[in-house]
Amino acid sequence: MVSVLANLKKELISISTATDIGFNSTPTIKQQIETLAESLEVLNPTVEPTSFMELVQGRWQLLYSTFGLERETTLQRLSFGKLPNVTVNVTGIFQEVYLDNQQYINLIEFTVGSDVKGVAAVTGRYRVEDSKRLNIDFLETSVKSASNDLDVSTFRSCLGIDSQSALESKLDFSGWSDITYLDENLRLMRGNNQNLYVLVRTN
C-alpha cells in the first residue's frame, strides 16, 4: 500500500503542478486529478484529520483547485468586494494555518503593472466541526506590497488608487472545508460545492 500511495501522490502532485493552480487545466486533466484525489482519499493515512491539527499547521502552497479563480482578476473579487477594483494577475496562492488563535489565512500573490508585486490576504479563524470539517469565520481582508522597499504611498500609486481607498477591511461571514486527505506534506480539501484543493507543505 505504501508504494501505491507514494505513486498516487507523486502523480497527483506532478499533474497538479503542471496546471498552474488550475489555470491551465482541461476537462481531461481535471478528471485525471479528480480520479487521483479520490484514490488518495480512500487511502488517507490520517483517519480523523482535525484531531491532528499540528499536521495542518504551517504554510502550504495551492497547486490546483476547481474553485474557478481566473489568472487576471481584481482586488475587489479577491477581497469579497471590499478592496479597490484594481486589475491584477495572480501568480501564487498559499495558505497558512496556526494553532495559536486558530488562525486560518489565505494569501494570494499577484503582480500589477509590469513588475510590482503584492499580496492579498483573507484572514480568518477556524473551528473544528467534526473529524474532518473545519468551519472558518472570515474576519479581515487586506493587501500590501510584497517588496519591503516600497512604501505604502508608492504602492498605492502603483495600484492607481488614492489615499482614501481602503487597503484593508473587516469581513463577517463563514465557510467550511473538509480535510479529505492529510499527511506530512500533502493535503486535500473539499469545500463549498465540493471544490477540490490540492496543497503541498512549504514549511
Q: What is the DSSP string of the chain?
A: -HHHHHHHHHHHHHHHHHTTBTTT--HHHHHHHHHHHHHHHHT-S-SSGGG-HHHH-EEEEEEEESS---SEEEHHHHTTT-S---EEEEEEEEEEEETGGGEEEEEEEEEETTTEEEEEEEEEEEEE-SSSEEEEEEEEEEEEES-TTS-HHHHHHHHT--TTS-SEEEEEEEEEEEEEEE-SSEEEEEEGGG-EEEEEE--
State mean pLDDT over 172-176: 94
- The tally of domains found in the chain comes to 1
In this prediction, residue 1 carries a pLDDT of 61
Is the pLDDT at 2 greater than 90, yes or no?
Answer: no
Of all residues in the chain, what percent carry a pLDDT higher than 90?
91
Q: If you average pLDDT over every residue of the chain, what do you get?
A: 95
- List own/partner pairs for 26-30 with CB under 8 A and 24 or more apart: 30/66
DSSP code string of 98-124 = ETGGGEEEEEEEEEETTTEEEEEEEEE
Q: Is the pLDDT of residue 56 over 90?
A: yes
In the predicted structure, residue 53 carries a pLDDT above the cut 90:
yes
* Distance of alpha carbon 79 from alpha carbon 103, whole angstroms: 18
How many whole angstroms separate alpha carbon 109 and alpha carbon 162? 22
- Read off the pTM: 0.94
Domain encompassing residue 182: 2-201
pLDDT, mean of residues 144-161: 92
Q: For the domain that residue 104 is a member of, what is the CATH number?
A: 2.40.128.280
Residue 40, pLDDT > 80, answer yes
The model's pLDDT over 101-127, given as tens digits with 9 standing for 90+, comes to 999 999 999 999 878 999 999 999 999
Please list, in sequence order, all residues whose beta carbon lies within 8 angstroms of the beta carbon of residue 17, skipping any fewer than 6 positions away. 63, 64
CB-CB contact of 119 with 143 (8 Å): yes
pLDDT at 148 over 90: no
